[in-house]
């Protein structure tokens, strides 16, 4: 019995020594270290997820407050003014095309075709009459937009060339804009009577103008008194 007990004790000691040596080997230690890192990353992820949920709940609570309604309305107005969203409303549609008058010998044909200055005069008249949003052939115009003559076409917003007929759409009070355009001696009267330019003005119950497609980057302009 004594010999059996000694043999079993020796075997258990050898087995414990072997298992401890195996645990100390590099592969086993690396697996244990990686497992610990994975568990730590999982716990950290759970903490972040809980924080995200808390922040979302706070955001939902804040955005549903009645005090934010004026700010939301002001933001929507700024987005319209910046041209970031399409707009719709009552307005007018003005179609401009070159003259179809038969030229007499010696007459300058350039006087009977549309130029950028003619289009600008119509745009300025519409702005003065209260046009809120305008577009030329579907190209949204902003306060910084430009209309330039490029050969037989005009360049709008530095990105799109359009040729006659030019279709100007404007959102605003239709009757006021039509009266301003058609006043005696006004822009439409001058274009039609002197140069035979074809002008059609239509009252529209609903005008849809797309969002601005160009880029708006201010490289040099900064808020006065702000950080440089």
Mutual angle of helices 174-182 and 116-128, in 10-degree steps: 130
Dihedrals phi, psi of 199, to nearest 5 degrees: -130, 130
Tell me the pLDDT tens digit for each residue of 54-66. Answer: 888 887 777 666 6
Tell me: pLDDT of 212 over 80.
Answer: yes
Band of pLDDT at residue 5, cut at 50, 70 and 90: low
Instruction: State the Cα–Cα distance between residues 172 and 154, nearest whole angstrom.
Output: 25
Location of structure tokens 């009757």: 175
Mean of pLDDT values over 134-158: 92
89 is written with which tokens? Answer: 């409303």
> Stretch 23-27: mean pLDDT, rounded?
57
Say how many C-beta atoms besides its own lie within 10 A of residue 130's C-beta: 13
Distance between CA atoms of 182 and 196, rounded to whole angstroms? 15
**Cα–Cα separations (whole angstroms), residue 17 to 23, 27, 33, 152:** 10, 18, 22, 95
Span 8-22, mean pLDDT?
66
Output phi, psi for 203, to 5 deg. Answer: -80, 130
What is the average pLDDT score of the chain?
86
Please state the rounded mean pLDDT for residues 10-19: 67
Question: Can you give the pLDDT at residue 225?
Answer: 76
Write down the residue that tokens 């004790």 correspond to: 9
pLDDT at site 23: 55
> For the chain, what percent of residues have pLDDT higher than 90?
45
User: For the ranges 23-32, 181-190, 212-221, which has the lowest average pLDDT?
Assistant: 23-32
Task: Give the pLDDT of residue 224.
Answer: 86
* Average pLDDT rounded to a whole number, residues 2-8: 65
Task: List CB contacts of 101: < 8 A, sequence separation 6 or more.
Answer: 112, 195, 196
pLDDT at 25 over 60: no
Q: CATH classification of 87-209, choosing from 3.90.420.10, 1.10.3720.10, 3.30.70.1880, 2.70.40.10?
A: 3.30.70.1880
Domain boundaries, the chain: 9-63, 87-209
* CA 122 – CA 167 distance, rounded (Å): 11
Phi, psi of 124 (to 5 degrees): -65, -40
CB neighbourhood size of 56 (10 A) = 10
Residues 207, 90: contact at Cβ < 8 Å? yes
The pLDDT of residue 14 is above 70: no
pLDDT in tens, 94-139: 999 999 988 888 888 888 899 999 999 999 999 999 999 999 999 9
Q: What is the pLDDT of residue 114?
A: 93
CA distance 172 to 170: 6
């Amino acid at each position: 019995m004594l010999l059996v007990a000694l043999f079993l004790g020796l075997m258990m000691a050898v087995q414990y020594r072997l298992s401890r040596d195996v645990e100390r080997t590099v592969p086993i230690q690396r697996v244990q270290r990686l497992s610990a890192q994975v568990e730590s990353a999982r716990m950290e992820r759970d903490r972040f997820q809980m924080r995200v949920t808390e922040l979302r709940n706070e955001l939902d609570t804040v955005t549903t407050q009645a005090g934010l309604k004026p700010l939301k309305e002001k933001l929507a107005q700024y987005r319209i003014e910046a041209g970031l969203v399409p707009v719709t409303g009552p307005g007018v549609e003005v179609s401009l095309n070159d003259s179809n008058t038969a030229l007499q010998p010696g007459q300058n044909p350039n006087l009977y075709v549309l130029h950028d200055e003619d289009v600008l005069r119509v745009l300025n008249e519409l702005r003065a009459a209260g046009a809120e949003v305008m577009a030329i052939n579907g190209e949204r115009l902003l306060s910084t937009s430009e209309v330039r003559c490029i050969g037989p076409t005009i360049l709008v917003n530095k990105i799109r060339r359009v040729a006659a007929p030019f279709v100007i759409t404007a959102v605003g009070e239709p009757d006021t804009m039509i009266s301003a355009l058609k006043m005696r001696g006004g822009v439409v009267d001058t274009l039609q009577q002197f140069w035979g330019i074809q002008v059609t003005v239509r009252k529209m119950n609903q005008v849809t103008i797309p969002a601005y497609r160009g880029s708006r980057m201010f490289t040099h302009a900064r808020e006065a008194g702000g950080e440089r």
